[in-house]
Chains A and B, each alone.
Chain A
Amino acid sequence: MKKIILLMVIISLSGQSYGLTQKIEVLGMVCAFCAQGIEKNFRATDNVDDVFVSLENYFVAIESKDGLDNKFIKEVINDAGYDVQKIEIFPITVNQIRIENE
């Protein structure tokens, strides 16, 4: 609840519109070649605005207009050969996550 309120405050203060960011912790994602399948498939998904892959911290962040269904996220990750540990909604944009992690 606090996260949603914080997200609304950020949006109203900045005057910009943001999508929904989902952070997925991925098991077994140990190389860039591995992660490419995940990135390609999410980028090819309708309504996805941005994707960020963090090999350092073993997660993928996706920004989309309405958020992606958890079942669909797990399917994409599994089809790339990996497993999902946790899916969270994040109150910041993928670009902000990218800046924090690079």
Chain B
Amino acid sequence: MLRTKTVKYMNKFNLIFVFLLVAYHPVIHAAPMSFKGSTTSMSQVSKDYFSIESSYASSIEDSFGAKAIRAKGNGYKTKLGEIFYLRKLMRINAAKSQTNLWLFTGVGFIDIKKNNTKEHHIYLSPTIQFDYETKRIYGMISHQILRAGHENFDTTKIEGGFSFYEAGYTQIQPWFILKTKNINNLNNEIKYTPTLRLINKSIFIDAGVSMDGDPVFHFMYTF
């Protein structure tokens, strides 16, 4: 009995540990890369989509990383493993805003299942991302080209939102973000996800439910 309880407790502990490990994320709000020498890890979980990635910034303009994605929809089931290089092409630091232009270049393999067919491909996938933020507003647009064999999984994302009030460095700041996303082949239509984001110095919570009822949740903690 005691052994069973101990095993259950250990399993819970392991789950929490893995969750915290996945969630370790010294991230900045809009940009996919933090400061020089930092490691950025992130995960996104929803009903049809799971991703986990980690990258290391060797300079303030260059980052190297790896990611894994599992996604399904429209009869497709896909699994991807990728290594990527991220280059900050441009940053404009203004008095009260920052603007960034990023280029991701990923190389990986993809497993595609549809009906009773299975395909495996190696791919090269560039992504361009543009974002802008102030302490009160945030906007981002990105487009990824991902072709594998005759399949097209190009992904477009547009996000925008505002913070409810201005917060200090140690205070919690709530944001409303509307996320839109479309993955060719997997989505029949654009997915809209209203999201509530709470961030402070070290904790980042992102929770939303898409218009078709798919919950999306992020929890991040900075060590």
A residues near B (Cβ < 8 Å) are 27-28, 30-38, 41, 53-56, 58, 78-83, 85, 102
Could you tell me the distance in whole angstroms from the C-beta of A94 to the nearest C-beta in chain B? 13
Tell me, yes or no, whether B91 is within 8 Å of chain A by CB: yes
Chain A interface helix/strand/loop/mixed: mixed
Q: A37-B34, A79-B35, A80-B60 are in contact. Are A30 and B168 (CB under 8 A)?
A: no
Q: How far is the CA of A37 from the CA of B27 in the complex (A)?
A: 10
Chain B interface helix/strand/loop/mixed: loop
Could you tell me the distance in whole angstroms from the C-beta of A28 to the nearest C-beta in chain B? 3
Q: Are A55 and B167 in contact (CB under 8 A)?
A: yes
* 15 pairs of residues in contact across A and B, judged by CB atoms under 8 Å: A27-B94, A28-B92, A28-B97, A30-B96, A30-B135, A31-B173, A33-B27, A33-B201, A34-B28, A55-B166, A58-B96, A80-B60, A81-B34, A81-B60, A81-B91
B residues near A (Cβ < 8 Å) are 26-29, 31, 34-38, 60, 91-98, 133-135, 166-170, 173, 199-202, 204, 222
Collect the chain B residues with CB atoms within 8 Å of residue A80's CB.
35-36, 60
Which of A32, A56, A58, A78 lies in contact with B60, CB distance below 8 A?
A: A78
Q: Are B169 and A35 in contact (CB under 8 A)?
A: yes
Could you tell me the distance in whole angstroms from the C-beta of A76 to the nearest C-beta in chain B? 9
Q: How far is the CA of A37 from the CA of B28 in the complex (A)?
A: 9
Could you tell me the distance in whole angstroms from the C-beta of A17 to the nearest C-beta in chain B? 27
Could you tell me the distance in whole angstroms from the C-beta of B202 to the nearest C-beta in chain A? 8
Collect the chain B residues with CB atoms within 8 Å of residue A58's CB.
95-96
Could you tell me the distance in whole angstroms from the C-beta of A35 to the nearest C-beta in chain B? 6
Collect the chain A residues with CB atoms within 8 Å of residue B173's CB.
31-32
Question: Nearest residue in A to B136 (C-beta to C-beta)?
Answer: A30
Could you tell me the distance in whole angstroms from the C-beta of A88 to the nearest C-beta in chain B? 16
Q: Are A82 and B93 in contact (CB under 8 A)?
A: yes
Q: Are B169 and A33 in contact (CB under 8 A)?
A: no
Q: Are A32 and B201 in contact (CB under 8 A)?
A: yes
A55, A56, A78 pick with most chain B CB within 10 angstroms: A55
Q: Are B38 and A37 in contact (CB under 8 A)?
A: yes
Q: How far is the CA of A102 from the CA of B169 in the complex (A)?
A: 10
Which of A27, A32, A37, A79 lies in contact with B199, CB distance below 8 A?
A: A32
Q: Are B222 and A30 in contact (CB under 8 A)?
A: no
Collect the chain B residues with CB atoms within 8 Å of residue A83's CB.
93
Q: How far is the CA of A85 from the CA of B96 in the complex (A)?
A: 12
